Amino acid sequence: MHFTNGLFFLFGFLFFICQGSLINRLKYHEVMHASELSHTIVKRGINSSPHPFNKIKELTFKTLGRDFKLMLSPRKYLLHSQFKAYEVDKDGKEKLHHIDPEHHDLYEGRVFGEIESDVSALIEDGVMTATVRTKEDTYHIEPAWRHIDDPLRTRMITYRSSDVLDGQPGLPLPSLGSHCAYVREEGNATGPEWGEEGGPGPHVRAKRQTTEAFTFNIMKTRCPLLLVADYRFYKDMGSSNTKTTINYLISLIDRVDKIYRDTVWAAGDRDRGVGERHLGVMGFVIKKIVVHSEHTPVARGQEHYNMDTGSWDVRHLLEVRGMLLGWGLLGWGLDTGS
């Protein structure tokens, strides 16, 4: 099994778009100031190392009626070794934005003392974006400025998944029990849709995080991505800041990648007497990010995905960009016709 060599393209403005006010969709939330986060480095390796536990950060805070003690280490392998990020102006001129793949603001870890927990966190300028999964609930922490007035941008809102009225906090991710097709080496697509007459059988099973989450072949099991943020995404979700936009896109892919890493991918054909075999951990690696810091001007009769316009029809937008992709859409600025 392998991924094709080409890059997959994802658009920031389609990938994570708010559907109305988050605050209005919460039964309960709290506001936390950045000063309430306590940071402590509990382990730092003498030498730089790709090992996930070479550096461990302890982060403590109190919110939503409980004390949190997060044990975090830098998130590895999400950025390609040749990762590049660019800011693009209205004339198409690219400006390289340096981000070290081995030293960025993304972390992963667990809640101290809770084995069946998982944390994905982005810490930028003292403010955190995080998802904390525990047995009892999933807790979300987001910069307050994206949802309420916060001119100093030093506050965060916190809420539980169980407090979201429509059950869809943040990015809509597929359930772990959903199927995902893959491509065999001989080029045949497979999955429940492509099952033979005898029935497809289970191709994907959900699993809990394993202790060997880091032992996989990056090149053979990771799909390289090119992420593109249009000007509207840059302005509204990135606060007109290139670094913030890049970090936000990285954190979104981190959440999707988590779903893939926590899924057992299996192959086999019981009708032909072929036993089930595990294909290993699969996921994504970000190879390039492009952020449009201005609208792209167009001549009369021409179209561009980054031009200054109102809402897009989804199919029309994909035709303008010249590619069809599978993704979750939430419909901010998009006319789906439904």
The CA distance from 25 to 296, in Å, is 34
CA atoms within 13 A on the CB side of 236: 14
The CA distance from 196 to 269, in Å, is 9
| C-beta separation of 144 from 157 below 8 A | yes
Contacts of 26 (CB under 8 A, 6+ apart): 159, 163, 164, 165
Most confident of 43-47, 232-236, 306-310: 232-236
* Integer CA distances (angstroms), 98 to 6, 82, 87, 289, in order: 23, 11, 10, 11
pLDDT in tens, 140-190: 999 999 889 999 999 999 999 999 987 555 543 333 333 333 333 333 333
pLDDT in tens, 190-201: 333 323 333 333
* Integer CA distances (angstroms), 26 to 30, 160, 195, 316, in order: 10, 9, 41, 33
| C-beta separation of 265 from 277 below 8 A | no
Looking at residue 314, its pLDDT comes to 61
CA atoms within 13 A on the CB side of 331: 7
| C-beta separation of 102 from 47 below 8 A | no
Question: What's the gap between Cα 286 and its chain centre?
Answer: 10
Looking at residue 54, its pLDDT comes to 62
Tokens, residue 59: 């982060």
pTM of the model as a whole: 0.69
